[in-house]
Structure 1
Amino acid sequence: MDVPQGSLSLRHYGASHGSHAHEHFQVLLGLDGVLDLEVQGRGRRIAAGQGCVIAPGDHHDFESREGSRCIVLDTPHAAWARCAYDPARTAQALALGHYLAHALQQRGSLAQHYGPALLLEAWQPLPQAVPPARHQRPIHWEQLATWTQQRLHEPLSVAQLAAQVFLSPTQFAARCRRETGLSVMHWLRRQRLALALQLRGRGMGVAATALHCGYRSPSALTAALRRQSGESIQ
């Protein structure tokens, strides 16, 4: 198993020893007490469960008036460059820190080997929660087509069609495009033409069929039927 390499230690902090810097990342996790920290001239206070990631080359100084214990990781692992000061999982990190503090004192413990990877995991940003998929009421297209064909002699709008399936016009237009591959107006023309073909097949005259299906004129119906015939031949 590949794990981030580094050196773990349990350190006790008290009076300041002066500013210094390292060529590697230094990660601190507070266990108890309060540690006052200054990194590149900026102050920070580390209490239990809080932490700090000090980048290579950053000058820093520590001081704790009442005494502080911290788990310290010295590591060259580049992944720490993407980690914020405090661990993302504070409670888990503190529990892990106390465990490591105990394990580091035990002979044969694997804390030194696996501890750096576990600390990095506790520090990594939490994954973004995926919003639950919204349940969408199904559109019964055949039922909607029947309702539509019964009213083609009337002007029909996208809003009227959308209201039949309890959607906004925008939502209905998007669902129509996604589920039928057609725009709403194209779908409506399909219903108009389908009804016209049925009525003509039953022997209804062109003028009556045009009126019943909402065509502007008998010639508009004739043109639509001619286009349909041409598309069928191709």
Structure 2
Amino acid sequence: MLWALQGTLELEIEGQGMCLREGEALLLRPGEHHDFHSRAGCRCLVLDSHDHHWAGRAQRPRNAATAHKLAQYLALAMIGDHAVSAQLGVMLLARDWGATGTRMRSRRDVDWAEMTDWVLRNLSRPLTTADLAAHVWLSESRFRSRCVEALGCSPMAWVRALRLEHARLLRAGGTPWQQVARRTGYASAAALMAALKRPGQS
């Protein structure tokens, strides 16, 4: 995934020329031969994903304009000792990229971008592994296994990471602490701040 944060990037993909301007994004599929050049310089966000559902998505995002600020935030948040993981960044941006084609969907397969979107829409309420598994028609044990395989962590660790990252995003936008806590499923602003101060979370 290639997102132009600043400037203009000229590309050639499989012999076809195109231009990526500030705020625009492009999906490069594995094996596609590409080259790029920027006359005045261009700053980009580049994210890799092993989620095969991306193969069914369009080359350009559906809502690039609405996701541009998120892309800018992620470019900064992925730097430093407590950086946001690239995988989490991919899942957050996938919400504004558009759904996969139905031919790529499987009833017992997990579309992690769609799953992320569902979790973010339900962050204000308690969520259990059983809730997550039921959403994708899997048993708890199978969902837990899929989560560890795809994301490298348990379902609840993943949900916690989404809660805290969404909280940081809301705070960066100026939302009051109490409102952020309520929208991300924490009992109080103090509980949220304590969670953010834990080692590896600040």
Tell me the TM-score range normalised by the shorter chain.
0.3 to 0.5
The structure with the greater share of residues assigned to strand is 1
TM-score normalised by structure 1 residue count: 0.40
TM-score normalised by structure 2 residue count: 0.46
